[in-house]
Amino acid sequence: MREVYVAGVGMTKFGRSEFKSQLELFGEAAMDAINESNLKPKDIEALFVGNANGDINEGITVLASHAAAEIGLNHVPAIKLEGACSSGTVAIVNAFMWIASGYADIVLASGCERNTVTPTADATRLMNSGNHHRYEAGTGITFPGLFAMMCHMYSHKYNIPLPQLKEYMCMVAMKAHKNGAKNPKAQFQKEITREQYVNSAMIASPLQMFDCCPISDGASAMVVCSKEVAKKLTNKPVQIVGVGQASSGGLSTQKDYSRPIAREISVQKAYKMAGLTPKDINVVELHDCFTIAEIVASEGLGLFDFGTGGQALARGETQIGGRMPINPSGGLKSKGHPVGATGIAQGYEIVNQLRGICGQRQVEGAKIGLTDTLGGPFASIANIIYKRGW
């Protein structure tokens, strides 16, 4: 298997895009990644696009082919990949496989989404389509409702009183906005106070407004290439050393979704491929669609013992400068969550962290980074481990 490297990354600002379509957002991020790689579109041999809802939101099918044409990629294989919120990371995994196998030397992985084009009620219904249409949709479950139930399950399972768990969740929200305030690409670039958190609207008890990530528009892209190509293109190489992916179906097929087993299977694949353990990781971008999700994910990734993620958070271990910095970008909670773009945006942050160019939110000495992306009701989970190159 050949070594696989990242030559360049690109990302739009996340938020509301009133005048740019998802194809235009894609083009912006893709050309930034290509230009940063010192390449031209003609050098790209294949395109993978992570996208969940483009066919419904903007009526575009064969999105990848249209995306290729948007930037002048003529006649290359162009493939759309859909794994709900994990779609972008799944695109990177597939690009990795093409390079590692020797089938291609330079591949563009990208993700895009324009979610704010639909009213909130319709967007909620569309997101809920990730639940099983036969066994779950009829119950009226929403994703805020799902993660609210996770809070109660987690509280009971680990004997953590709900008020204490809420304090931990408040810390997650405040940390996310503190980091997002330092990220010019983030949707929300303003810190919040404990009082703002406590007084925010109740969404699905015990989740309040500041426990939930926003609906967002945006795009991200990554040029993935062989080692031989990377040596010609960049003096700040970042290697993809491990990838993993797993699935769980819907809620009706899972016994305990306070501990998504698919995540543990996926990340262990990545650790094994990389020859690393959780103790080797220096910085993490994980899927904090809701504040409880960060705590649960930090444990499933092996960063903390089960039931202790909140305590580690309270000790400051997940802050920039802490033992295990989590979401220095601001995460989904503050940076935003344009579904198909999220996974590659996580990679964008990790690559730049390993390059040492993240400014005020830089994790000093970061050499190895991990991303974690969750799609649907833990239906699709993918993980990638990045390492600073030669």
For residue 382, the domain's CATH number is 3.40.47.10
User: What is the CB-side half-sphere exposure of residue 75 using CA atoms within 13 A?
Assistant: 1
pLDDT digits (tens, 9 = 90+) for 57-106: 888 889 999 999 999 998 999 999 999 999 999 999 999 999 999 999 99
List, for residues 9-20, the tens digit of each pLDDT value.
Answer: 999 999 999 999
Residue 104 is assigned to a structural domain of this protein = yes
d(CA 23, CA 384): 26
The boundaries of the domain holding residue 58 are: 4-119+214-388
State the pTM of this model: 0.97
Task: Enter the DSSP assignment of 75.
Answer: S
Q: Is residue 176 a part of any domain in this protein?
A: no
| Domain membership flag for residue 376 | yes
Average pLDDT, the chain: 95
Task: Kindly state the percentage of the chain with pLDDT values over 90.
Answer: 86
pLDDT tens across 336-381, in order? 999 999 999 999 999 999 999 999 999 999 999 999 999 999 999 9
**Residue tagged active-site, from 66, 85, 112, 212:** 85
* pLDDT tops 80 at residue 124: no
- The Cα 191–Cα 330 span in angstroms is 10
Answer whether residue 7 shows pLDDT above 80.
yes
For tokens 């306070």, the residue is 258
Q: What is the pLDDT of residues 268-314, one digit of tens each?
A: 999 999 999 999 999 999 999 999 999 999 999 999 999 999 999 99
Q: Are 326 and 171 in contact (CB under 8 A)?
A: no
In a domain, 255, yes or no: yes
Candidates 151, 225, 337, 358; catalytic one: 337
The answer to whether residue 85 is catalytic is yes
The predicted structure's pLDDT at residue 369 = 98
Q: Are strands 217-226 and 4-11 parallel, antiparallel or unpaired?
A: antiparallel
Considering its fold, how many domains does the chain have in total? Answer: 1
- Are residues 110 and 91 in contact, defined by beta-carbon separation less than 8 angstroms? yes
Above pLDDT 70, what percent of the chain? 100
Asked if 174 and 323 touch (Cβ cutoff 8 Å), the reply is no
Residue 105 falls inside a structural domain? yes
Tokens 């040596």 sit on residue? 231
pLDDT of 175 reads 98
Contact 17, 116 (CB under 8 A): yes
- Please indicate, yes or no, if residue 167 is contained in any of the structural domains: no
pLDDT(122) > 80: no
Assess whether 358 carries a catalytic annotation: no
Please give the full DSSP string across 235-301, using - where no structure is assigned: SS-EEEEEEEEEE---GGG-S-TTS-HHHHHHHHHHHHHHT--GGG--EEE---SBHHHHHHHHHHT
Whether 158 maps to a domain, the answer reads no
- Distance of alpha carbon 187 from alpha carbon 198, whole angstroms: 21
Residues 126-143 pLDDT 10s = 777 777 777 877 788 889
Coil, strand or helix: which one is 300? helix
